[in-house]
């Protein structure tokens, strides 16, 4: 048996190392567990004792996502904790748009070879974000697959499950012409547009991840590894029924994400000059010679979450959310109209 294990390790899959690392991170993961989590780590499935007695019609909400090519920046900078946070926060935001709060999160790490230091950074990122979001890091899968990935590279995916009262689901059906659209500030690129950003910054402009970003004290790597914001705790402060619709501004930008929540007889008019676009997007647009409308379809352009409320609730919501008014709902055909 020992010889077989050694042969497998020589082939690139070290089972013993994987088992040791999983034992070492048990205390880290348990910090995200409440009394709802049953059983021990390392089982074939995670156990979550769901008690929703305070809810009349609890609805489970699930989502799955990845970090995308932002991982390439993590590889280049050899910094891996922030992408773990990104993954959790992106998933939390995706279910928050329906009014859900997160219950538990599961991760997947596929790697060329298991690097203990990198693995620990990733798990610390997952655990930190889960604690902040109030959800359990319930379990995960770590796959060592030599030949599938480049040396020292890996891929991440995450699955989240949350809960919302059926009567409180936010689905955009109540959106009407005259409603206000508010924008919550993003923290840079979040987790979208990195293939184009890397093409412009690293290839066309010939910058390195350690280079200073033009006109900034931050490095290229530092700017591109800014953490994707978790908006759910802030959104939860808004009284029930006030928010009519939420759009997480990810791939597709404001142009493609707002239509996902619009009734067919409504259109979203976005006043692009109503907020200051962060410098990183200006650098990308100017140096990449990208059409401005395409920029609003590829990148979030400084708005990470769009919130639709009735006009009479706009000022109160803006105060709570620290948001800006970025547009309005008009009669239309379910599309975004961008006014530059």
Dihedral sign (CA 211, 215, 217, 222): negative
Three-class SS of residue 236? coil
Weakest-pLDDT range from 57-61, 112-116, 120-124: 112-116
CA distance linking residue 73 with residue 208, whole number of Å: 10
Give the mean model confidence (pLDDT) for residues 154-173. 96
Dihedral sign (CA 115, 117, 122, 126): positive
Give the mean model confidence (pLDDT) for residues 309-315. 97
Residues of the chain with pLDDT > 70, as a percent, come to 95
CATH 3.90.650.10 holds for 180-339: yes
Other beta carbons within 10 angstroms of residue 335's beta carbon come to: 14
| Confidence (pLDDT) at 129 | 97
CA distance linking residue 289 with residue 31, whole number of Å: 47
| Confidence (pLDDT) at 10 | 65
Residues of the chain with pLDDT > 90, as a percent, come to 77
CA distance linking residue 164 with residue 200, whole number of Å: 41
Quote the mean pLDDT of the chain. 92
Question: Measuring CA to CA, which residue among 299, 303, 269 is closest to residue 284?
Answer: 299
Domain boundaries, the chain: 2-168, 180-339
Residues 6 or more apart whose Cβ sits within 8 Å of residue 190: 86, 90, 226, 228, 229, 250, 300, 304
Question: Measuring CA to CA, which residue among 128, 34, 150, 32 is closest to residue 84?
Answer: 128
Weakest-pLDDT range from 50-54, 70-74, 95-99: 50-54
CA distance linking residue 52 with residue 29, whole number of Å: 24
| Confidence (pLDDT) at 39 | 77
Q: Where residue 45 falls among pLDDT bands split at 50, 70, 90?
A: confident
Helix axes 15-24, 116-133, angle to 10 degrees: 40
CA distance linking residue 163 with residue 205, whole number of Å: 45
Tell me the per-residue pLDDT of 196-234, one tens digit each, with 9 for 90 and over.
Answer: 999 999 999 999 999 999 888 899 999 999 999 999 999
Strand boundaries in the chain, DSSP class E:
37-38, 47-48, 58-66, 101-111, 136-144, 154-165, 180-185, 243-248, 266-271, 303-309, 324-331, 336-339
Dihedral sign (CA 202, 199, 87, 19): negative
Please provide the distance, in angstroms rounded to a whole number, between the alpha carbons at the two ends of the chain. Answer: 67
Residue for token pair 């070492």: 24
**Residue 278 corresponds to which tokens in the numbers above?**
């962060």
C-beta separation of 109 from 75 below 8 A: no
**C-alpha of 304 from chain center:** 10
Three-class SS of residue 270? strand
Quick one: fold of 2-168? 60s Ribosomal Protein L30; Chain: A; (3.30.1330)
Q: Where residue 4 falls among pLDDT bands split at 50, 70, 90?
A: low
| Confidence (pLDDT) at 11 | 67
| Confidence (pLDDT) at 2 | 52
Residues 128-166 as b/e (b if ≥16 CB within 10 A, e otherwise) read bbbebbebbbbbbebebeeeebeeebbbbbbbbbbbbbe
């Amino acid at each position: 048996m020992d010889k077989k294990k050694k042969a497998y390790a020589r082939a690139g899959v070290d089972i013993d190392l994987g088992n040791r690392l999983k034992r070492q991170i048990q205390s880290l993961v348990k910090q995200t567990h409440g009394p709802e989590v049953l059983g021990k780590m390392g089982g074939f499935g995670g156990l979550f004792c769901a008690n929703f007695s305070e809810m009349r019609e609890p609805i489970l909400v699930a989502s799955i996502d990845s970090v995308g090519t932002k991982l390439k920046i993590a590889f280049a900078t050899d910094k891996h904790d922030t992408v773990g946070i990104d993954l959790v926060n992106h998933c939390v935001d995706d279910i928050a748009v329906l009014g859900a709060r997160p219950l538990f999160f599961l991760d997947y790490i596929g790697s060329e070879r298991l690097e203990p230091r990198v693995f620990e950074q990733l798990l610390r990122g997952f655990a930190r974000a889960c604690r902040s979001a109030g959800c359990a890091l319930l379990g995960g899968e770590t796959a060592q697959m030599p030949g599938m990935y480049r040396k020292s590279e890996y891929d991440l995916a995450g699955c989240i499950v949350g809960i919302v009262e059926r009567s409180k689901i936010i689905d955009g059906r109540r959106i009407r012409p005259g409603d206000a659209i508010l924008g919550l500030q993003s923290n840079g690129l979040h987790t979208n547009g990195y293939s184009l950003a890397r093409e412009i910054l690293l290839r066309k402009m010939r910058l390195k991840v350690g280079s200073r970003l033009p006109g900034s004290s931050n490095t290229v790597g530092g700017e591109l590894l800014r953490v994707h914001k978790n908006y759910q705790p802030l959104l939860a402060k808004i009284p029930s029924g006030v928010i009519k619709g939420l759009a997480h501004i990810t791939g597709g930008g404001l142009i493609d994400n707002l239509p996902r929540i619009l009734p067919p007889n409504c259109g979203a008019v976005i006043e692009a000059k109503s907020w200051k676009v962060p410098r990183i997007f200006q650098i990308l647009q100017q140096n990449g010679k990208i059409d401005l409308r395409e920029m609003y379809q590829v990148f979030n352009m400084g708005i990470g979450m769009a919130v639709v409320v009735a006009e009479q609730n706009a000022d109160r919501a803006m105060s709570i959310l620290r948001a800006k008014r970025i547009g309005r709902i008009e009669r239309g055909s379910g599309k975004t109209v961008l006014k530059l």
